[in-house]
Amino acid sequence: MKRLTVVSLALVFCLAAVIPARAQQRDAISIVGSSTVYPFATVVAERFGKAGGFKTPKIESTGTGGGFKLFCAGVGVQHPDISNASRAIKASEFETCQKNGVTEIVEVKIGFDGIVLANSKKAPPLSFTSKDIFLALAKEVPDPKGGEALVANPYKTWKEVNPALPDVKIEVLGPPPTSGTRDAFLELAMERGALAFESLKKLSKEDAKKFQKVFASLREDGGWVDAGENDNLIVQKLVANPNAVGIFGFSFLDQNTDKIQGAKVDGHVPSFENIADGKYPLSRPLFFYVKKAHVGVIPGIQEYLAEFTSEKAWGKDGYLSEKGLIPLPEAERKKVAENVKNLVVLKEAK
């Protein structure tokens, strides 16, 4: 009996080991990547699928980094065709791609996303300068009593930062360190704010690394709260807590204008027009990347690209703008569309 047991066990595991032989088969585009691009990519994918001819692409929201990891794993059916990204591909990721045989990548810049600071409608509207933002959120700030030295952030309320601001506790709900939105916020708002100080400006020229550490270190004493990736939840937390300020993508402000209001940054309100013409300072480009080797093999990739880069999708009055995507300037749109049509390959990452 014991022998029988052993034999049958062995058989079961042999069986388990052979199953991998089943190779995969795919007849729809597979897209991975950033959760920021996800809402726009899905709209295009859905229209593309409804138009008939091809199956609707499958889109996973994995985060930009997770998306590149999957995308750069290799060429072949089991790997995705397109990776969405809320930042340009990094040199290290580009190298990984090259190493794994993904040599030809087409970069498509699709538009801008505004990062807004907002609070509840129940509270008075706010207006920040990027200097205020830096002073309120940095871990170390230049000594308010004067001098070059950096001291631990002493500000507790907005009023202490800037007398024009209300006298409430600083409480900012923002994206966690793993988020691409956070990186963008640091570079766009915090760096700008830090450069408003002469001493830090000098530092940036002398010791770029140290300067980066200054503007990219957010306070950890409760003024800044890492609030997770769910932007809708942040919006609702703002409604529940009128004293808090939240940081998230423009589309969430756009959809909730009756509950929350965007704060002015350096005098400009976060509106569609202001972001589009570059007046509002906190905006970043969005991308997606296509594996050229898959074009023509996985059915529908070219058509999907054509749909995405058509005027009715990403144009000034296109359906993506309805969803909150800020379009590229017209000349740039034309250029990108042309590149996409000819599948111009990315030479190197910036």
Partner 1 sequence: MSKTQGHPRAGKTPENSRTIAVVRASLPRRYRSERRFRLLGLAAVVLSLGFLALMFASLLANGVSAFRQTEIRLPVHFDPEVLHAEALAQADYGQLIRASLGRLFPDVEGRRERRELAALVSSAAVYDLRDLVMRDPGVIGQTREVWLKAGADIDMAVKGHFRRDLPEAERRVSDRQFAWLERLAAEGRLEKRFNRTFFTAGDSREPEQAGIWGAVSGSFFTLAVTLMLSFPIGVAAAVYLEEFARKGRITDLIEVNINNLAAVPSIVFGLLGLAVFLNFLHLPRSAPLVGGLVLTLMTLPTIIIAGRSALKSVPPSIREAALGVGASRMQTVLHHVLPLALPGMLTGTIIGMARALGESAPLLMIGMVAFIVEIPKGFTDPATVLPVQIYLWADSPERAFVERTSAAILVLLAFLVVMNAGAIWLRKRFERRW
Partner 2 sequence: MPPFVLLAVLLAFSAAAYHLGRRRAFALAGAGGRAQRLHSRPNYHGALVALWCALPAILLFALWLAFESQVITRIVVEGLPEPQRSLPGDRLSLIVNDIRNVAGGRFEETAADPAVREAAATYRRLLGLSRQALAVVTLSLAAAMALLVRRRLRPTLRARNHVEGILTAMLVACSTIAVFTTVGIVLSVVYEAVLFFRIIPVGEFLFGLSWSPQMAIRADQVGASGAFGAVPVFLGTALISAIAMVVAVPIGLMSAIYLSEYAGKSFRAVAKPLIEILAGIPTVVYGFFAALTVAPFVRDAGGLLGLDVASESALAAGVVMGIMIIPFVCSLSDDFINAVPQSLRDGAYSLGATRSETVRRVVVPAALPGIMGGILLAVSRAIGETMIVVMAAGLAANLTVNPLKAVTTVTVQIVTLLIGDQEFDSPKTLAAFALGLVLFVVTLCLNVIALYIVRRYREQYE
Residues that bind partner 1 (CB under 8 A): 19-20, 22-24, 26, 28, 30, 35, 38-39, 41-43, 45-46, 49-52, 55-56, 58-61, 78, 230-233, 249, 251-252, 254-258, 317, 319, 323-324
Select 39 or 315, whichever has its Cβ closest to partner 1: 39
In 87-238, where do the E strands start and end?
105-120, 127-128, 140-142, 150-152, 172-174, 224-226
Least distance between partner 2 and beta carbon 179 (Å): 5
39 makes contact with partner 2 (CB under 8 A): no
Task: Give yes or no for a contact between 83 and 68, defined as CB atoms under 8 angstroms apart.
Answer: yes
201-219 CB burial, b ≥16 within 10 A, e <16:
eebbeeeeeebbebbbebb
Separation between Cα atoms, residue 102 and residue 71, nearest integer Å: 9
44-55 CB burial, b ≥16 within 10 A, e <16:
bbebbbeeeebe
Least distance between partner 2 and beta carbon 311 (Å): 26
Going by C-alpha positions, the residue among 109, 87, 273 that lies closest to residue 188 is 87
Select 44 or 137, whichever has its Cβ closest to partner 1: 44
Least distance between partner 1 and beta carbon 296 (Å): 22
129 makes contact with partner 2 (CB under 8 A): no
Site for partner 2 in 64-93 (CB under 8 A): 64-66, 68-69, 74-79, 86-87, 90, 92-93
Phi, psi of 208 (to 5 degrees): -60, -35
| Residue 46, contacted partner among partner 2, partner 1, none, CB below 5-8 A by kind | partner 1
Task: Give yes or no for a contact between 87 and 183, defined as CB atoms under 8 angstroms apart.
Answer: yes
Least distance between partner 2 and beta carbon 299 (Å): 5
Select 3 or 22, whichever has its Cβ closest to partner 1: 22
Task: Give yes or no for a contact between 186 and 105, defined as CB atoms under 8 angstroms apart.
Answer: no
150 makes contact with partner 2 (CB under 8 A): no
Least distance between partner 1 and beta carbon 29 (Å): 11
